[in-house]
A and B are shown apart, each in its own frame.
Chain A
Amino acid sequence: AQTVTQSQPEMSVQEAETVTLSCTYDTSESDYYLFWYKQPPSRQMILVIRQEAYKQQNATENRFSVNFQKAAKSFSLKISDSQLGDAAMYFCAYRGPGDGGSQGNLIFGKGTKLSVKP
């Protein structure tokens, strides 16, 4: 069974600095999807970034970028120029390939709580 591990329950960063959140996963598949979701205190789940495993290029969305290391099964999130509004829980998630059985369902890590200090 696939698993997603976020080894940092809490992280802290100074405003305007850069922080990296770690995520590792376990799968025997070669084609899959990885996601980072942000959950602010409002509780709303917001998609930050997604990565297709078949793409070698790391995904980027404005100040958010990932370091996808397929062989190491690592998918870290880098937040540059951190802002107070970045303070939230961040969840890493995995989705398997195709539509068969439960492969298309999201599997979440336990989350990392990010604090941003002014």
Chain B
Amino acid sequence: NAGVTQTPKFQVLKTGQSMTLQCAQDMNHEYMSWYRQDPGMGLRLIHYSVGAGITDQGEVPNGYNVSRSTTEDFPLRLLSAAPSQTSVYFCASSRGRVHEQFFGPGTRLTVL
């Protein structure tokens, strides 16, 4: 099993550009989520999904879109990147909400 994979590992964008951060898991987990990590802030939840076709907002959803068309994939879209979105992004998955969350290796995003 590859676990949770994220691509790319690093990305530099210009303000106003759009992009999609990819996340995939091969553990047949129902629950997936996206976090951002900023210095001194810990990890904060952006969006989450409890299954294919079901998504909901977390603590800091503004500027991000998600969709969940399959159990395996949960992409995060930045529609118009802003410098405030410079951060490290983590995707995670778990069999259910009360089970251990497995994290991907993260994507470091810089918006100039």
Contacts and interface: CB of A to CB of B under 8 A. Distances in A.
Nearest to B108: A43
Given A45-B103, A108-B35, 13 more contacts: A4-B42, A33-B98, A44-B105, A44-B106, A95-B97, A98-B98, A99-B97, A102-B56, A103-B97, A104-B98, A105-B33, A106-B45, A108-B43
Interface in B50-67: 50, 56, 58
A105 B42 contact: no
A91 B97 contact: no
Contact of B42 (A42, A97, A108): A108
Nearest to A97: B98
A104 B51 CA distance: 14
B88 interface: yes
B74 interface: no
A50 B100 contact: yes
A104 B97 contact: yes
Nearest to B40: A110
Given A43-B88, A99-B50, A106 B106 contact: no
A104 B56 CA distance: 12
Interface string A84-117: 0000000100010111001111111111000000
Given A33-B98, A50-B100, A102 B58 contact: yes
